[in-house]
Structure 1
């Protein structure tokens, strides 16, 4: 089911606000790695936000995700309420997920590099 214009607008608003919150509370740079908000998808009733986090060079992404869910959720929701209070009647429930798009891109790049090397080796053998 395709997102409505309103869902996209609110999702973008939540994403921008969460990005600012992560910077203010120091969650955007952790343990020498970076965390960013890759995407926010809103449910049709706008009461739930699926927040996809992209983690770059974080030693244990799943542990970091659990830490955010358990230890930092209250702080994040408090700041989100302050930032979005004038735009929304109800602040959406946040559900955090790992965004593995970056891992997928790196994996594909490695595969293409290997194919290119194998292709060069085969051409070299045929000469």
Structure 2
């Protein structure tokens, strides 16, 4: 369970990272929309686990590895934004948020179930 402090700091990190990716994301991944879906902060505020979602990109693993390769540059830009709000700039760990693929898979399963013929209810 995250404390209020962690949640508030995670919100600041998420907002600022979203602005960084919106303004300068094309430098890392051209023609790809990067969305920060969730940020989790450790209790000591030293590590931020950032969950990303990619749109208009077929190879999400390659996109995630590209972001990880630029992690120090992204952290530097984040530090410039939050320098007056935090004592330390957290280390950034990036993860793929697979919620969208999970939702799509569940939709396919439900569609398949709804297309199967219904068996008549038998009451005795």
Alpha-carbon distance in structure 1 between the residues aligned to 2:7 and 2:71: 23
CA separation of 1:32 and 1:25: change in aligned 2, threshold 3 A: closer
**Aligned partners of 1:28 and 1:34 also within 8 Å:** no
In the TM superposition, 1:40-59 aligns within 5 A as: 40-59=39-58
For 1:3, the equivalent position in structure 2 comes to: 2
Alpha-carbon distance in structure 2 between the residues aligned to 1:29 and 1:111: 35
Tell whether 2:29 aligns with 1:34.
Answer: no
- Structure-2-length-normalised TM-score: 0.88
Tell whether 2:75 aligns with 1:77.
Answer: yes
**Aligned partners of 2:16 and 2:81 also within 8 Å:** yes
For 2:87, the equivalent position in structure 1 comes to: 89
Structure 1: gaps spanning 5 or more residues:
none
**Aligned partners of 1:31 and 1:58 also within 8 Å:** no
**What's the C-alpha RMSD, in Å, of the aligned pairs?**
2.0
Per mean C-alpha deviation after superposition, the further-off stretch among 29-38 and 89-98 is: 29-38
**2:15 match: secondary structure:** helix
For 2:16, the equivalent position in structure 1 comes to: 17
Q: How far 1:56 moved relative to its partner?
A: 2.6
Structure 2: gaps spanning 5 or more residues:
none
CA separation of 1:94 and 1:29: change in aligned 2, threshold 3 A: closer
**Alignment: residue pair count:** 120
- Structure-1-length-normalised TM-score: 0.86
